[in-house]
Amino acid sequence: MFEGIVIKSTGSWFTVMQNDGSKINCKLKGQFRIKGIKTTNPVAVGDKVEFIHVRDESTGLITRIFERKNHIIRRSTKLSAQSHIIASNIDQAVLIVTHAQPRTSTGFIDRFLVTAEAYHIPAVLLINKIDLFNEELKNYHDKIIQIYSSVGYPCYSVSALKGTNLTQLKNLLKDKISLLSGHSGVGKSALVNAIEPGLDIKTGEISHVHNKGKHTTAHAEMHKLSFGGFIIDTPGIKEFGLLDFDKNEVAERFPEMREKMHDCKFNNCTHVHEPDCAVKKAVEDGTINKSRYLNYLSILNDKYFEIVDWEK
């Protein structure tokens, strides 16, 4: 028996990296069902697996999937009840944000953070393209940093184009398995190429018609970093919502609301219309940021929740 980690999935074949860095293409032995998770892919990028050699040791057969410490899921399609595991065994989820070309909304940021909280994955905001900032964007940037750092989310400011603060980015990623996400066009691939040129990940251009990025990554793939650690590169995200998520749990996924909610008059307070609500009072006195609260209400008002709608 041999062990390794799945770094790529293409249909029925899985690329497994062994401890010595060598790679082997494997298939699954039989049908796998993991703790009742109904997904289109029983094996995901990041899974630690056990396999045997077949065909003169040129390929392998996965015989065991080790227990996951965490995973993150998306719905397969808007109309499908099935889900798809994006990745597993993640140390941190890094959301790459831009204030222009394209602009990442706080609504999108908060949905990402809520989902990371739900799957118990530490999250980080990485703000790219700071070289494009004028005075207005600098002020907006400072506001965003204050909002999210004050509730416990580390924030980093970088420029892939100018190479600004890339040492900080390397230190952030070093010796960890990091999921990289963000809208297409935020510079995810450019950042990866800047810190690890040997990977040569394809980059895309910004569509000047819609001011949005053109999709370049087709599926999640794990890459080893020369300075230690792994990154999981994912397709650009167009929308972000929640799958199989109890609306009563949403407030718990906002750290600042979680801190206040136990002081509400009612145990089942939704923090919308109830009297003596500690969360609403904190919004009124500025302890809880109003935009975060409004995004909380937006999530509650969603007609349905879905995890990720990948750009086609």
SS3 label, residue 185 = coil
The CA angle 206-165-156, to the nearest 5 degrees, is: 75
What's the rounded Cα separation, in Å, for the pair 118 and 110?
Answer: 12
What's the rounded Cα separation, in Å, for the pair 188 and 168?
Answer: 16
- Using CA atoms in the order 252, 255, 258, 261, what is the torsion angle rounded to 10 degrees? -120
- What per-residue confidence (pLDDT) applies to 55? 77
The pLDDT tens digits of the residues spanning 23-71 come to 999 998 876 655 555 666 788 899 999 999 987 788 999 999 999 999 8
- What per-residue confidence (pLDDT) applies to 300? 87
What's the rounded Cα separation, in Å, for the pair 309 and 234?
Answer: 12
Pick the CATH number of 73-80+86-240 from 3.40.50.300, 3.90.180.10, 3.90.400.10, 1.20.1740.10: 3.40.50.300
What's the rounded Cα separation, in Å, for the pair 96 and 185?
Answer: 10
The CA angle 293-299-304, to the nearest 5 degrees, is: 170
- What per-residue confidence (pLDDT) applies to 243? 55
Cis peptide, bond prior to residue 102, ω within 30 of zero: yes
What six digits make up the tokens of 113? 């953070």
- What per-residue confidence (pLDDT) applies to 105? 92
Q: What is the pTM of this model?
A: 0.85
What's the rounded Cα separation, in Å, for the pair 185 and 54?
Answer: 42
What dotted CATH number matches 247-309? 1.10.40.50
> What residue segments make up the domains of the chain, in order of their start?
2-68, 73-80+86-240, 247-309
Only one residue has tokens 């969603």, namely: 302
Q: Which CATH architecture has domain 2-68?
A: Beta Barrel (2.40)
pLDDT per residue as tens, the chain (312 positions): 899 999 998 878 899 999 898 999 999 887 665 555 566 678 889 999 999 998 778 899 999 999 999 988 765 555 455 667 888 999 999 999 999 888 999 998 998 899 899 889 999 999 999 999 999 999 999 999 999 999 999 999 999 999 999 999 999 999 999 999 888 889 988 999 999 988 866 654 433 333 444 443 346 789 999 999 999 987 655 444 455 567 788 999 999 999 999 999 999 999 999 999 999 999 999 999 999 999 999 988 874 444 333 332
The pLDDT tens digits of the residues spanning 245-259 come to 677 889 999 999 999
What's the rounded Cα separation, in Å, for the pair 28 and 308?
Answer: 26
- What per-residue confidence (pLDDT) applies to 265? 95
